Structure 1
Amino acid sequence: MIQDGTARAVSMSEGRMSITGVAGRFVQGIGRHLRLEASSLRIVAGFARADDGLRETSRIEGDARVSGDSLGRAGFEGSAGTIALVLRPLPAGGEARILLTLGYRDDESGYVAELWGPATLFEALKRDILTGAAEHLSLSATTSLWVREEERDASPALPVSWHLGLEPGGQRSAGARGLVESIDWGNAAESPAEPQPLLAAPAEDELPDDPVSDELRRINWSLKLLLLLLAFLLIIVAMK
């Protein structure tokens, strides 16, 4: 495994990632969702300087954990315990979807998950936190995280180990993006039910395991990643 500060060669080929010194390969787009559960939800208000004056930076924070599976960093030892969760409202007129980013910061923050949701969702959750009706939160998301190749076709009943990728320089973990399929919250007395996907899983994700369907699955996944990238670029443009 890689020690912090040690560079390793990273290669990508046909949707698979290989890292020098790490046994096996990693793949994306396995047709299964990452599930997070969060508690200690709290509202943080604030403002920051912007080119045209002040910009509101209000957000909701919480302490999250991966439910059922585990999350680590490709090439590094260990897995995530508590994940710092941050939920921010999208700019006015932004996407009507809930976007997710996952990353690792080389400081005390460690693993971080950031959600960007419509203002209506943000205000509804904020209201329920203030009234004590939202102490726990669960979400299910499709992400660009990696799993080991041998885990790609694992049974849904079995846990898998998700991984952040590795940047081209081979020293730092790369971030991941995702699209939240469902999100639920509730209080301590009545924890939120297991999130159910808002949309049925695309048929392309359930193609038989043969060379042709495998190639179609990679193409389908590449299109999903492209749409996610465009969504995040629109957020960046809207915030400027």
Structure 2
Amino acid sequence: MVETGAMRQVVMTQGVMTIEGVTGRFAQGLGRHLRLSATGLRLVRGFARRDGRLDDDTRILGRASLIGDSLNRAGASGEASEIALTIRPLATGEDGRILLLLGFREGEDEAAGFFAEVFAASGVFEALRTDVLSGAAQVLSLSATTSLWVRENERDAVPGMPVAWHLGLEADGRRSAPARGLIETLDWHGTAAPVTPAPAHDEEPFEASADLLARINWSLKQVVLVLVFLLIVVALK
């Protein structure tokens, strides 16, 4: 495996990628969707200065992971254990789509690592924002078609078989290239309230009562036997 930052040749032809120093090739066009699940959703309000003006930077943050499959970086080691999720509203006039951006940030700070950014139509973002604030949105899941890569021998993987998705490489072969996608489904729900088991009935009193009744029954039988014996003795006299 070639280390991140090392220069290597990257060749991409007709949906197939070859990386210098990496065994095997990578391919696109896998006929299946990437599926993500996210928890820990929270709303962050704020503003950011862009192009000389102050813009609303309200966003929803969360922690995501792949469902069934894994996410890696072509030409580098390390599998995504957790993906930093950010959901933002699309700019006005771009409604009708929900876009996905996947990538990897270099560095040692908290922002480093795998990330996913969702750009949702304003109506979708507002609905999700409302439910996050009310607590009705605690678990989010999405399904998307993306430009991620897979090993060439996994290109024809049967549905249901886990695959390892990979981020590609920049043209200079030094850094991971982001992948883009179109989200087909996006849904969320609140975590079901935990079912509190009914307190177990104390069985000791019942068992003790049953044992006491058994002892009384046995004693009565003994008394009856003694009386019968006495009656027999009296009759013999």
Aligned residue runs from structure 1 range 38-57, under 5 A = 38-51=38-51, 53-57=53-57
TM-score, length of structure 1 as denominator length: 0.77
| Partners of 2:66 and 2:98 in 1: CA distance | 18
Aligned partners of 2:87 and 2:119 also within 8 Å: yes
Measured against aligned partners, the alpha-carbon deviations of 1:45-69 in whole angstroms (never above 9, x if no partner) come to 0111244632101000100001100
Partner of 2:219: none
How far has the Cα of 1:170 moved from its partner?
Answer: 0.9
Q: Evaluate the alpha carbon distance shift between residue 152 and residue 51 of structure 1 in structure 2; reply closer, same or farther with a 3 A threshold.
A: closer
> Is 1:36 aligned to residue 36 of structure 2?
yes
Q: Evaluate the alpha carbon distance shift between residue 90 and residue 22 of structure 1 in structure 2; reply closer, same or farther with a 3 A threshold.
A: same
Aligned partners of 2:95 and 2:122 also within 8 Å: no
Partner of 2:200: none
Partner of 1:204: none
Partner of 1:19: 19
| Partners of 1:51 and 1:142 in 2: CA distance | 31
Partner of 1:151: 154
Partner of 2:90: 90
| Larger of the two Rg values belongs to structure | 2
Structure 2 segments unaligned to the other structure (5+ residues): 194-237
SS of 1:49 mapped into structure 2 = strand
Partner of 1:219: none
Q: State, as a whole percentage, how many aligned pairs show the same letter.
A: 57
Aligned partners of 2:4 and 2:75 also within 8 Å: no
Partner of 1:129: 132
Partner of 2:216: none
Number of residue-to-residue matches in the alignment: 190
CA RMSD of aligned residues (A): 1.2
SS of 1:81 mapped into structure 2 = coil
How far has the Cα of 1:134 moved from its partner?
Answer: 0.4
Aligned residue runs from structure 1 range 88-127, under 5 A = 88-107=88-107, 108=109, 109-127=112-130
SS of 1:62 mapped into structure 2 = strand
How far has the Cα of 1:15 moved from its partner?
Answer: 1.6
Q: Evaluate the alpha carbon distance shift between residue 51 and residue 153 of structure 1 in structure 2; reply closer, same or farther with a 3 A threshold.
A: closer
Measured against aligned partners, the alpha-carbon deviations of 1:126-176 in whole angstroms (never above 9, x if no partner) come to 110111100010000000000001000001121000000011111100000
Letter in 2 for 1:73: R
| Partners of 2:2 and 2:190 in 1: CA distance | 41
SS of 1:63 mapped into structure 2 = strand
Letter in 1 for 2:48: A
Q: Which range is displaced more, 7-16 or 30-39?
A: 7-16
Partner of 2:177: 174
SS of 1:124 mapped into structure 2 = helix
SS of 2:79 mapped into structure 1 = coil
Letter in 2 for 1:19: I
Partner of 2:81: 81
